[in-house]
Amino acid sequence: MRLTGNIFKKLTPQKHTNMKKNSHLISNRIANTRAVKGIFMLIILAATMVPRNACAQTATPDSSQTQRNIEHALPVKTTYPKVVGYLSFILPLVTVTRNGTTHNFSNGATSIGFPVGVNVLYSDKFGFSYEFTPTIKATGSSSKTSNLLFDPGTMFRFQHGFTLITRLAFETEGRYGFTPVFNQVYAHSKDVNYFVALSLPARFGNSEVPSLGLNLQIGFTFN
């Protein structure tokens, strides 16, 4: 009995010490767990306080600006077919026949035409033009509409705004023929393009000798 009692006395303090150690460990673990939970709660609370659209508001201007820069950098692609109208005036500079040469602004008479038309563009290289040109002839005593020309033609388009137009010609005066036109766009704007052209009208018929002329045309097309 004494031996048992001594053993019990010897074992009891050690057991008590172990229990204390275990109690401290459990307390430390509980404290650590509560600290971790507290940290997570703070993170969640901070996340809920940040506006949901803050990131979007910060990124959106940059994204939209980048998109605009990309769109501005990319070349604008034209959709075909494209229809454009134009207005212009034309001055017959000189007309040559086998009987002689006639200049405009000579012999007291002046002629000026006002070509108006529509261009149907099928690609960057080809199109078709429909043009009507009323002509006014003025003398020292009177002025009148002397002729109406219808001259449709094919358009062969090249780089840098240059176009070769091969037109047929039908006049109410009874003359007919063809007209090659050398057209050059010399200025661009948002709404219109300005062009200048030289044409070589060849005319036949109506009991008159064939003629070849040189005309200067200036006008603009609507974009």
pTM over 0.75: no
State whether 33 and 123 are in the same domain: no
Whether 62 and 170 share a structural domain: no
- Domains: count for the chain: 2
Name the residue with higher pLDDT: 73 or 79: 79
- Which CATH number belongs to the domain containing residue 106 in this structure? 2.40.160.20
Q: What is the pLDDT of residue 11?
A: 46
Q: Which domain holds residue 32?
A: 2-73
Do residue 131 and residue 213 come from a single domain?
A: yes
Phi-psi label, residue 74: left if phi above 0, alpha if psi -120 to 50, beta otherwise: beta
Whether the per-residue pLDDT at 25 is higher than 60: the answer is: no
Mean pLDDT of 131-140: 95
* Least confident among 60-69, 172-181, 207-216: 60-69
- What percent of the chain shows pLDDT beyond 90? 61
Q: 119 and 197: one domain? A: yes
Label the pairing between strands 162-171 and 143-150: antiparallel
Residues 199 and 150 in one domain: yes
Residues 200 and 91 in one domain: yes
> What mean pLDDT is predicted for residues 63-85?
75
Final residue of a domain: which of 73, 103, 135? 73
Q: Which of 108, 139, 132 is nearest to 118 (CA)?
A: 132
Whether residue 121 sits in one domain with residue 185: yes
Q: What is the mean pLDDT of residues 98-123?
A: 93
pLDDT of residue 109: 87
* Nearest one of 104, 111, 105 to 138, comparing CA atoms: 111
Between CA 68 and CA 52 the distance in angstroms is 25
pLDDT at 101 over 50: yes
Task: Retrieve residue 52's tokens.
Answer: 């949901």
- Taking residues 97-125, report their average pLDDT: 93
How far, CA to CA in Å, does 5 sit from each of 1, 9, 10, 148, 213? 6, 6, 9, 140, 142
Residues 201 and 137 in one domain: yes
Count Cβ atoms within 10 A of the Cβ of residue 89 and give its class: 0-12 exposed, 13-18 middle, 19 or more buried: middle
Is 120 within 8 Å of 128 (Cβ atoms)?
yes
User: What's the rounded Cα separation, in Å, for the pair 177 and 194?
Assistant: 27
* 73, 104, 134 - which closes a domain: 73
Q: Are residues 47 and 108 in the same domain?
A: no
Give the number of C-alpha atoms closer than 13 A to the C-alpha of residue 74, restricted to the C-beta side: 8
Measured distance between the N- and C-terminal CA atoms of the chain, rounded to whole angstroms? 119
Model pLDDT, residue 189: 95
Whether residue 107 sits in one domain with residue 48: no
Residue with tokens 């176009």: 163
Cα separation, 221 vs 188, in Å, equals 10
- pLDDT the model gives residue 107: 78
Q: Is there a single domain that holds both residue 182 and residue 115? A: yes
Cα 53 to chain centroid distance, Å, stands at 33
| Single residue among 73, 100, 130 that ends a domain in this structure | 73
The verdict on 25 and 86 lying in the same domain is no
